[in-house]
Structure 1
């Protein structure tokens, strides 16, 4: 398992390194709520991606590592946790019954992010992707209720799955330490120059708030 996990982490880092040269700073309004996947992530700490690295760059790597952990937990669950596996199978069948699934099939750079932009006060949306997905979900029958005994047994299996996820997560963090130099070199080559260019452009705008073609006083007349 360790060798296989090492290969998966290396391949995921390679895929992220191929994507980083295509990254560009966002030009739209930033979000108020932080990303729960990336904020304080030990995976990003192990990779050497600190808070000074743009979130989009962080998210692409953390999502790829989360996929590795999720896949490992899925294999463990299928082999050892029959109650949890049955519950997941029922939920998967319920999800497949929905014709509209906007969160599926996304690239790692977008997976787990909010579907809709933050609302603007006084400018309500005609509709949202989240709202459409919830409306579709409401049409699908709910899962059958569980007995108290089944709930207790399911909670025990969920706890075991969480323990295994933490174990794999720690291994992934250890393996990422081997790739820190490659990751940081990519940030220095492809990300930092774009940030520096943005800061320089902002500084120029602050130094010259008016268009130099305007008449003295900054007035167009």
Structure 2
């Protein structure tokens, strides 16, 4: 029997809470553009971590919740939207035929993020993972063309899938609000102290930028 939406949301939060103690602040440069999955996400608002929380912490939760919504929509599509399901099956077969698929089997904390770091100004990469992925995509044959009638039908089914996804998303947000207290408590316990320590270290560096021993003190 399929697990209820309430159970799946609770299990996703539990999995995120088990991962959170292993989180550490990133040491590499930040991204130049906001994450499309997390920026303005109603999921993060419902969970109470939409502001003043590092993106890595947010992304681990938003990705887990997105998986739940995607799986619900996939089941609805398979049962009710045959034309859209056929297109998705063809696209999946096309993707599986690629010789290089770097986005597969990524953990929730990395899924959906750019494959490559931001390049240093004036120092372009010799090659990138994204370039290899694009080359592999070009090797696979394109999907067969659709008639105008099929395109219209497909647009209607896509609209129905989007409407269903929105309904599931709203219910997921409602369920997440019931977990807000323990989500916030975990952030206060595992994340905030690390951020405070970084700020303290930065403040100390700014207050004493030079070692007094350099001046014979």
Range into which the TM-score falls when normalised by the shorter chain = over 0.9
Q: How far did residue 50 of structure 1 move?
A: 2.6
Aligned length: 217
Superimposed CA distance per residue, residues 87-135 of structure 1 (whole angstroms, 9 cap, x where no aligned partner): 0000000000012111110000000000011122210101000000000
Partner of 2:129: 129
Matched, 1:48 2:48: yes
Superimposed CA distance per residue, residues 36-69 of structure 1 (whole angstroms, 9 cap, x where no aligned partner): 1101100000000032000000000000000000
State how 1:192-211 maps to structure 2 within 5 Å.
192-211=192-211
Q: TM-score, normalised by structure 2?
A: 0.97
Partner of 1:188: 188
Structure 1 unaligned residues grouped into runs of 5+: none
State how 1:66-81 maps to structure 2 within 5 Å.
66-81=66-81
User: RMSD between aligned alpha carbons?
Assistant: 1.4
Q: Distance in 2 between matches of 1:76 and 1:137?
A: 28
* 8 A Cα contact 2:40 2:50, kept in partner: no
Structure 2 unaligned residues grouped into runs of 5+: none
State how 1:63-212 maps to structure 2 within 5 Å.
63-212=63-212
Runs of 4+ in 1 over 4 A off after TM superposition: none
Q: Distance in 1 between matches of 2:112 and 2:170?
A: 21
Q: TM-score, normalised by structure 1?
A: 0.95
